[in-house]
C-alpha cells in the first residue's frame, strides 16, 4: 500500500520540479518519509486502512464570519466499524478579516455527532464539541502556512454508559498552489497540502498518536474543489514509542455557497 503512495509522491515531486523548486522540495520530503515507512512495516499484517469520503459546505456570512458544515463516512474494515459523522453548522470567526483578506487569525467552534456500527460489539454514539484557533504566517504570498490547534471533548455512549476522552490536537500545515502567476488558486488549477498533527490525550496525559498528511487538490470552479488526502498514522501506548499503524484514505469535496468566493482552500475540516 505504501509503495503506491511512494509512486504517487514521486510523480508529484517530478511535477513540482517542473513547476516550482519549493514544491518539488516539499514533495521530496514526503517521498523520503513514504519510502522510509515502506522499509519497516510493509510486511506487518496489523496495519489497518480507513476510507473516509467527506463533504464540506461553507458560506461566508460577512468578512469576519463563516458558517460551515462537515459530513463524513468512516469505513474501517480491520477495526471492524463504520461511522457516519455529521456536524451542526459550525462557525469560524476572523477578527481581522476584510474583503481582500481573511486575516491571520481564525477562531473555530462546532460539534460533531457520530453514530458507529461496531461489527463485534454493541453500537455506539459520539458527541464531540470542538473549539480551535488557527494562526497563519503573514505575508507568505499565495502560499498558506498555518498552525491549527483544537480542543475536543469526545463523549461516547455505549451499553447505556457515557465515557469521555478529552484531547488536544495541533496541526502545522503548508498549502501551495501548483499554478503560476495569477492562475494560482484559480478554477481549473491544482494545489497541494502537507502537514503533521500530534494528538494528546488529556485524561491519561500522553501523546496518543501523530498523523502525517499529504493532499492533492483540484479547484473545479469558484465554488467547488476536490481533494485526495492520505494520512499515515503513528501511534503507541502511554510510555511506548510511536510506530506506523495505519493508512487513512480520504476523498473530500468542498462546496462553497454563492458568497464563498476566494476562500479555497482555507476551509478545511477533518476528524
Give residue 7's domain range.
Answer: 1-43
What is the C-alpha to C-alpha distance for residues 199 and 183, in angstroms, rounded to an integer? 36
Whether 59 and 193 map to the same domain: the answer is yes
Residues 177-233: tens digit of each pLDDT: 999 888 888 899 999 999 999 999 999 999 999 999 999 999 998 889 999 999 999
Residues 223 and 148 in one domain: yes
- 238-253 burial, b if ≥16 CB within 10 A, otherwise e? eeeeeebbbbbbbebe
Angle at 162 between CA 209 and CA 108, to 5 degrees: 55
Residue range 13-27, pLDDT digits in tens: 555 544 444 444 455
Judge if 127 and 113 occupy the same domain.
Answer: yes
Q: Does residue 186 fall inside a structural domain?
A: yes
* CATH code, domain carrying 234: 2.40.160.40
Going by the DSSP 8-state scheme, the letter that residue 184 receives in this structure is: T
- Spatial distance between the Cα atoms of 111 and 20, rounded to a whole number of angstroms: 39
C-alpha–C-alpha distance, residues 120 and 99, integer Å: 52
Residues 93 and 178 in one domain: yes
pLDDT at 30: 53
Amino acid at each position: 500500500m505504501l509503495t503506491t503512495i511512494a509512486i504517487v509522491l514521486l510523480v508529484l515531486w517530478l511535477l513540482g520540479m517542473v513547476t516550482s523548486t519549493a514544491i518539488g522540495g516539499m514533495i521530496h520530503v514526503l517521498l523520503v518519509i513514504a519510502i522510509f515507512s515502506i522499509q519497516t512495516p510493509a510486511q506487518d499484517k496489523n496495519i489497518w486502512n480507513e476510507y473516509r469520503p467527506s463533504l464540506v459546505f461553507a458560506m461566508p456570512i460577512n468578512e469576519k464570519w463563516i458558517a460551515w458544515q462537515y459530513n463524513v463516512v468512516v469505513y474501517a474494515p480491520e477495526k471492524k466499524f463504520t461511522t457516519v459523522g455529521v456536524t451542526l453548522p459550525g462557525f469560524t470567526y476572523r477578527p481581522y478579516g476584510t474583503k481582500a483578506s481573511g486575516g491571520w487569525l481564525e477562531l473555530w467552534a462546532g460539534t460533531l455527532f457520530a453514530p458507529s456500527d461496531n461489527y463485534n460489539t454493541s453500537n455506539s454514539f459520539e458527541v464531540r464539541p470542538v473549539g480551535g484557533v488557527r494562526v497563519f504566517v503573514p505575508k507568505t504570498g499565495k502560499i498558506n502556512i498555518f498552525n491549527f490547534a483544537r480542543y475536543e471533548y469526545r463523549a461516547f455512549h455505549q451499553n447505556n454508559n457515557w465515557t469521555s476522552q478529552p484531547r488536544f490536537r495541533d496541526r502545522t500545515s503548508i498549502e501551495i498552489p501548483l499554478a503560476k502567476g495569477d492562475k494560482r488558486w484559480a478554477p481549473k488549477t491544482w494545489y497541494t497540502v502537507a502537514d503533521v498533527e500530534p494528538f494528546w490525550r488529556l485524561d491519561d496525559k500522553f501523546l496518543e498518536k501523530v498523523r502525517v498528511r499529504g493532499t492533492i487538490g483540484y479547484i473545479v470552479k469558484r465554488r467547488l474543489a476536490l481533494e485526495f488526502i492520505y494520512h499515515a498514522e503513528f501511534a503507541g501506548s502511554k510510555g511506548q514509542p510511536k510506530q506506523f499503524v495505519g493508512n487513512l484514505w480520504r476523498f473530500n469535496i468542498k462546496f462553497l455557497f454563492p458568497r464563498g468566493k476566494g476562500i479555497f482552500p482555507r476551509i478545511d475540516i477533518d476528524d
